[in-house]
Amino acid sequence: MADMPTQVKIYSIAQITSRIRDSLEAEFCDVWLEGEISNLKTPFSGHIYFILKDSTSQIRAVAFRYQSRSFACRPQDGMKVLVRGRITVYDARGEYQIVVEQMEVRGTGSLQAAFEQLKLKLQAEGLFSPEAKKPIPLYPQTIGIVTSPTGAAIRDILQIIRRRFANVSIIINPVRVQGEEAPWEIAKAIRELNERADIDVLIVGRGGGSIEDLWAFNEEIVARAIFESRIPIISAVGHEIDFTIADFVADLRAPTPSAAAELVVKNKQDLLEKISAIQKKMHRLIRYRLDLYSGRVQRYSRIWMSPRYMDRFFHGHQQTIDTLEMRLRQSLLHKLSLAKGQAKHAIDTFYRHNPLARIHDRQERVRFLRESLCQREGEYIKNQKTRMFSIVGKLDSLSPLAVLKRGYSICRKLPDFEIITDSTNLGPRDLINIKLFCGEIICEVCEVKEHGEDKI
């Protein structure tokens, strides 16, 4: 490495960042900016972080807690605002930003305006009506999920469902949850799952993000697909503070994807504990009834045991009392046995819906389709080869080279290589090019004969 010139000054990253920050703060110590708030975040510190953007550009912004308390309104995604502050640099990331000291509301941003307009339209058509909401099944056996296959939302949902009730079957229809194609994919996935007869409830959603990230769930095509679904749908989009059009149309809104998983399935342990509690309660009631009737029998027995009434009542009703007591015990024991059988049947039903058999059937179906595809692929390639050889044979029979191979030739007049079809176009000493099947001949015309003078 060549020696550096002694007069070159080398800056550290911290030094150059500090110099840039000082320059920006000196030049833009008090500026006004107008734009739309996006990707707003408020951590526990109370500071407010967001992006201020217009149609072509954006700048990061921060409003510290002691300044934001004086704002006339609470900032929200999609809000159009006028802010006053100073431009500076955040050293840790080397990004310039505006530290907001004053904020005024200027109106509603374009996305927020579109949101409100579509909301009013669909509300007028009755898509948000409570009468249109379908009940969520209490114990669903198969749950469909429409979300990104790689996001945190699907991992949270699967983890919670497996923990709460592992016997439930899950069908995932993966889609993109943001971008131009996302609304179409989400609506298509909902309609595809509605074609199945084994799905009891759907979860449609994604994790948190800015209003732009969540916008796919504010599109009309998604709202109408949710409304037209015959399967009850739980909307689980973003965080608890995020609201989308899908939330208003869905049969139930969950504040987060994790909450949707907890709403759609009951805790298996809680159910088993509830059944156990019912069994214990039944035992207590049976014991109480037995003790009650046993006490009555003993009390009446003591009365009838007196010499005055013993002969009159005791011997006459003792057998009846014994018979009734045995019938009572048998009846109570029968009800207890019936209740135990019902509880056992309910538990066996939950365990019986194991998805392994269904997965095995689907694997067999995939194997059959793969073999069928390979067989059809081979037949198709064979047919195409036969067709190609036929076409090649036809092309070969029509090729001029095949004619030349039979002894014919092509005569062309030099120097412009004009094809000669009439001997009158030539004269003595003209040069001609004769194209044979193999090679060419340059000839000089010695004599020209008219038509009919010679025959082949």
More confident residue, 297 or 351: 297
Residue 275, SS3 per DSSP? helix
Residues 6+ apart with CB under 8 A from 336: 282, 283, 286
pLDDT at position 194, please?
Answer: 94
pLDDT at position 304, please?
Answer: 59
* Residue-wise pLDDT tens digits, 358-400: 777 788 888 889 888 898 888 888 888 888 888 887 877 777 7
The answer to pTM > 0.75 is: no
Strand arrangement, sheet containing 410-413? 418-419, 410-413, 431-435, 440-444
Length of the chain, in residues? 456
The partner residues of 413 in beta bridges, in order of sequence, read 418, 432
pLDDT at 257 > cutoff 60: yes
* Residue-wise pLDDT tens digits, 84-98: 999 999 888 889 999
pLDDT at position 327, please?
Answer: 85
More confident residue, 66 or 228: 228
Of the spans 170-174, 265-269, 295-299, 319-323, which averages the highest pLDDT? Answer: 170-174
Residue 386 φ then ψ, to 5° = -60, -45
pLDDT at position 357, please?
Answer: 64
Q: Which two tokens stand for residue 131?
A: 């009468």
* Residue-wise pLDDT tens digits, 89-122: 988 888 999 999 888 877 656 677 778 888 899 9
pLDDT at 268 > cutoff 70: no
| 8 A C-beta contact, residue 118 and residue 91 | no
| Average pLDDT score, the chain | 83
pLDDT band at 62 (very low <50, low <70, confident <90, very high): very high
CA distance to 148, 262, 389, 391, per residue, from 156 (Å): 12, 10, 58, 59
pLDDT at position 269, please?
Answer: 63
H runs (alpha helix) in 250-267: 257-264
115/109 Cα distance (integer angstroms)? 10
Q: Which two tokens stand for residue 413?
A: 């007049």
pLDDT at position 247, please?
Answer: 92
pLDDT at 313 > cutoff 60: no
* Residue-wise pLDDT tens digits, 141-166: 899 999 998 888 888 888 888 888 77
97/432 Cα distance (integer angstroms)? 83
Mean pLDDT value of segment 33-57: 88
pLDDT at position 317, please?
Answer: 65
pLDDT at 15 > cutoff 80: yes
The single-letter DSSP state of residue 101 is: E
pLDDT at position 351, please?
Answer: 64
Mean pLDDT value of segment 33-61: 89
CA distance to 37, 77, 137, 382, per residue, from 209 (Å): 13, 11, 30, 53
Mean pLDDT value of segment 11-29: 87
pLDDT above 70 covers what percent of the chain?
A: 89
pLDDT at 65 > cutoff 50: yes
pLDDT at position 456, please?
Answer: 46
pLDDT above 90 covers what percent of the chain?
A: 21
The string of DSSP codes covering 10-49 is PPPHHHHHHHHHHHHHHHSSSEEEEEEEEEEE--TT--EE
